[in-house]
Amino acid sequence: MVPFDNHNENHYHSRYTLLYRKQGMFRTLRGLSLVWILGLAPWVTSYAQDLTFALTIKDHRFEPSELQVPAGKRFKLVVKNLDPTAEEFESHELKLEKIIPGRSEANLSVRPLKPGTYEFVGEFHQKTAKGRIVAK
């Protein structure tokens, strides 16, 4: 049997051919993963530079009730619930919804916004837990 033959008389691949194909596949995958990691590098560094804004839930109210953010920039919204009961941060306009247990916090990633006003509520206490984000 010759190690580089693709087929034998029964048209089966020789074990040597399969071994070389596997090694070549691993080299290709290793090269692709390096390209993938290097392709992610600019995205990771730009995400790390994003802005962070904080909201606090206290006595079933958001503080501050109005948050000013720059338009066109992704940002992280940290919502701290100081109340002993859970609250659900919800905004149909922002397409965000997150239950925040009592005395804990949640990190929400907000896409870049067009200039405008975006309302949000505390779903469990809608009469008092209201606020808005103004993108300028």
Render pLDDT for 18-40 as a digit per residue (tens, 0 to 9): 555 666 666 666 666 655 566 65
Confidence (pTM): 0.64
Pull the structure tokens for residue 87. Answer: 């609250």
Mean of pLDDT values over 88-98:
96
What does each C-alpha distance from 54 to 16, 57, 88 come to in angstroms? 61, 10, 16
| 92 closest CA partner among 51, 133, 50 | 133
Pick the most confident of 2-11, 43-52, 96-105: 96-105
Query: Is 80 within 8 Å of 56 (Cβ atoms)?
Result: yes
Q: How confident is the model at residue 43 (pLDDT cuts 50, 70, 90)?
A: low
The confidence score (pLDDT) of residue 45 equals: 47
Mean of pLDDT values over 61-83:
96
Homologous superfamily in CATH for domain 51-135:
Cupredoxins -  blue copper proteins (2.60.40.420)
